Amino acid sequence: MSEKEIPNGFHYVGNCIRPPSEANSILLQATLGCSHSKCTFCGAYKDKRFAIKDRKHLESDLRFARHYCKRQDRVFVMDGDAFIMPMKHWKWLLGEIRDKLPWVRRTTCYANLKSIMLKSDEDLKWLYDNGLKAVFLGLESGHAQVRKDIRKGGTPEELIHHCKRLRKSGIKLVSIVLLGLGQTHLSMEHARETGRALSEIDPEAVSALSLMPLRNTPLGEAYEKGEFDMPDPLGIIRELRELVEHTNLSRGSFRSVHASNYLPIDAKFPRDKEAVLATLDQALAGNVQLKPEWMRGL
């Protein structure tokens, strides 16, 4: 295809996943799958092996976006942990976004702990200064044993240290945590340790999801065999309450609006924390209706 030809669409491979807040972003798929691909609960990207995509596909995508996406001023770079791309790829991609899509205000992507660990402080600052303004991190749990059990990789201390480095660079952090991962016996500890990690990291946003065991995952198989037990709906609300109680953000949002949750919360911390705790107490007392199981989804 010549430089002047306009492609008739984006080049996507397999299922593409983005955060709900990126619904209106230009979706550029720069990597395939997830470089970690070991988390026991995760059913995403089973259809592809991790790879960095050929630049010619991205060049074509950028040409398409230049012609057809002039009203979209955000770019979300996929897939699962595009942040892992080496700096030479990021330098090229952010340079292309700046040149070809000058109206774009911010670029974001998913990250995991390893992908942050592999970037120096200078790299992080360069990325922020050149347009990468936020990352979405599946933090899942701040509890050491739970992190080991779900094969998340990295200790809570490493998680806290590297997330703090990221935040220092200016890159905003949206942390996703997963209720239910501690089963019944570690439920409260998982909540407390996750709250502790969030309080130390102090991200701009926390999004709490509730675990739904998937059949095509090791955790789902263990659940089917009765080797992994989930707290019941009120147990999940109790865990959420414990998480909220132990999460202290200097200024950030705390949400549980994902379809997997039994009770939506959309709050600003610290302002709304006491009100959220009161709502959760009401739910635990049976005075607030929880979402029925059939309405939950991923």
Q: What is the DSSP letter of 36?
A: S
**212 counts as binding ligand SF4 under rule CB under 6 A:** no
Decide if residue 39 touches ligand SF4 (CB under 6 A): yes
Q: What distance in Å separates the CA atoms of residue 228 and residue 60, rounded to the nearest whole number?
A: 46
Residue 80 lies near ligand SF4 (rule: CB under 6 A): yes
> What sign does the dihedral 9-15-46-106 (CA atoms) show?
positive
**Using rule CB under 6 A, residue 44 touches ligand SF4:** yes
252 belongs to the binding site for ligand SF4 (CB under 6 A): no
Considering only 42, 77, 265, 276, the residue that binds ligand SF4 (CB under 6 A) is 42
Among 37, 199, 248, 253, binds ligand SF4 (CB under 6 A): 37
Query: Residue 26 interacts with ligand SF4 (CB under 6 A)?
Result: no
**Nearer CB in complex with ligand SF4: 42/127:** 42
Structure token pair of residue 266: 């959309």
Q: What is the SS3 assignment for 88? A: helix
Burial bucket for residue 138 (CB in 10 Å: 0-12, 13-18, 19+): buried
Residue with tokens 């340790």: 193
Stretch of 36-44, 70-78, 188-196, 221-229 contacting ligand SF4, by CB under 6 A = 36-44
260 makes contact with ligand SF4 (CB under 6 A): no
**Residue 153 CB neighbours (<10 A):** 16
Q: How far is the CB of 44 from ligand SF4 (least distance, A)?
A: 5
| Cα–Cα distance for residue pair 183/174, rounded to 1 Å | 24
Place of tokens 């939506």: 264
Whole-number Å distance between alpha carbons of 50 and 79: 9
Q: Rounded to an integer, what distance in angstroms lies between the CA atom of residue 36 and that of residue 44? A: 11
Indicate the residue among 114 and 125 with the shorter CB distance to ligand SF4.
114
From candidates 34, 109, 163, 208, binder to ligand SF4 by CB under 6 A: 34
| 107: β partners | 75, 132
Quick check: 36 binds ligand SF4 (CB under 6 A)?
A: yes
Cα–Cα distance, 25 to 12 (Å, whole number) = 15
Specify the stretch interacting with ligand SF4 by CB under 6 A; choose among 30-38, 86-94, 157-165, 246-254: 30-38
Choice between 132 and 181, CB closer to ligand SF4: 181
> Is residue 147 a contact residue for ligand SF4 (CB under 6 A)?
no
Taking the least distance from each CB to ligand SF4, the nearer of 28 and 62 is: 28
Which of 93/177 has CB closer to ligand SF4?
177
Nearer to ligand SF4, 101 or 116 (CB): 116
Q: Is 180 in the site for ligand SF4 (CB under 6 A)?
A: no
Question: Is 206 one of the binding residues for ligand SF4 (CB under 6 A)?
Answer: no
Cβ at position 186, least distance to ligand SF4 in Å: 19
Question: Are 173 and 212 spatial neighbours (Cβ–Cβ below 8 Å)?
Answer: no
Neighbours of 133 (CB within 10 A): 15
Structural element, H or E, at residue 28: strand 26-29
Distance, CA of 108 to chain centre? 11
Subset of 111-140 contacting ligand SF4 (CB under 6 A): 112, 138
Tokens 């414990």 identify what position?
A: 242
Would you say 37 or 248 has its CB closer to ligand SF4? 37
- Tokens 């700046």 belong to residue: 98
Interface positions with ligand SF4 (CB under 6 A):
34, 36-39, 42, 44, 80-81, 112, 138
